[in-house]
């Protein structure tokens, strides 16, 4: 049986011992052939939300500030509304935050992943029966 993981994981992977069926889920949203949203961008948005800063989020993720900034710029242009707003530094320093539009987008993405995992969880026992070391039960009887 799959082990439940926190919803904050962006690449959903069930953690199971050898000989037990599991799966990976990696969903990317595309605009035509262009990927516009997926686990990596979701991780960046979550890091920005947690740190209040693109540079701090980049450091947390082991990513260059330039890469993070370019991803934020791309996301802000690919969607009909910006996902991240930036505040220029000053006495209190700059910062960044997610827009309500981004919060809705990430919530819908989380729901999609949760529903996909639920569907896969229902089918894992069938694949368990096909694995070596499984009981002698016919997979079609699962």
Domains of the chain: 31-107 (1.10.10.10)
Q: Distance between CA 61 and CA 7 in Å, rounded?
A: 18
Per-residue pLDDT at 7 = 36
Burial label for 125, CB within 10 Å (0-12, 13-18, 19+), is middle
Per-residue pLDDT at 32 = 93
Which residues lie closer than 8 Å to 8 by C-beta, 6 or more apart? 46
Lowest mean pLDDT among 13-22, 68-77, 93-102: 13-22
How many other C-beta atoms lie within 10 A of the C-beta of residue 96?
20
Q: Distance between CA 137 and CA 126 in Å, rounded?
A: 10
pLDDT digits (tens, 9 = 90+) for 32-63: 999 999 999 999 999 999 999 999 999 999 99
Lowest mean pLDDT among 16-20, 37-41, 85-89, 125-129: 16-20
Lowest mean pLDDT among 24-28, 74-78, 86-90: 86-90
> Which single residue is written with the structure tokens 């039960």?
137
Reported in sequence order, the residue ranges of the chain that DSSP labels E, i.e. its strands, are: 12-13, 24-25, 29-31, 34-37, 84-87, 95-98
pTM here is 0.77
Per-residue pLDDT at 104 = 98
Q: What is the DSSP letter of 17?
A: -
């Amino acid at each position: 049986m799959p082990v439940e993981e926190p919803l904050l994981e962006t690449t959903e992977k069930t953690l199971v011992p050898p000989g037990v069926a599991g799966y990976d889920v990696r969903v990317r949203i595309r605009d035509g052939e262009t990927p516009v949203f997926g686990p990596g961008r979701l991780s960046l948005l979550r890091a920005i939300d947690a740190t209040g800063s693109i540079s701090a989020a980049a450091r947390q993720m082991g990513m260059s500030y330039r890469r993070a900034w370019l991803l934020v710029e791309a996301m802000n242009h690919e969607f009909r509304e910006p996902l991240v707003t930036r505040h220029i530094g000053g006495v209190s320093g700059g910062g960044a935050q997610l827009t309500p539009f981004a919060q809705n987008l990430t919530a819908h993405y989380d729901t999609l992943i949760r529903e996909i995992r639920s569907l896969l969880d229902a089918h894992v026992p069938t694949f368990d029966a096909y694995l070596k070391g499984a009981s002698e039960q016919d997979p079609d009887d699962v």
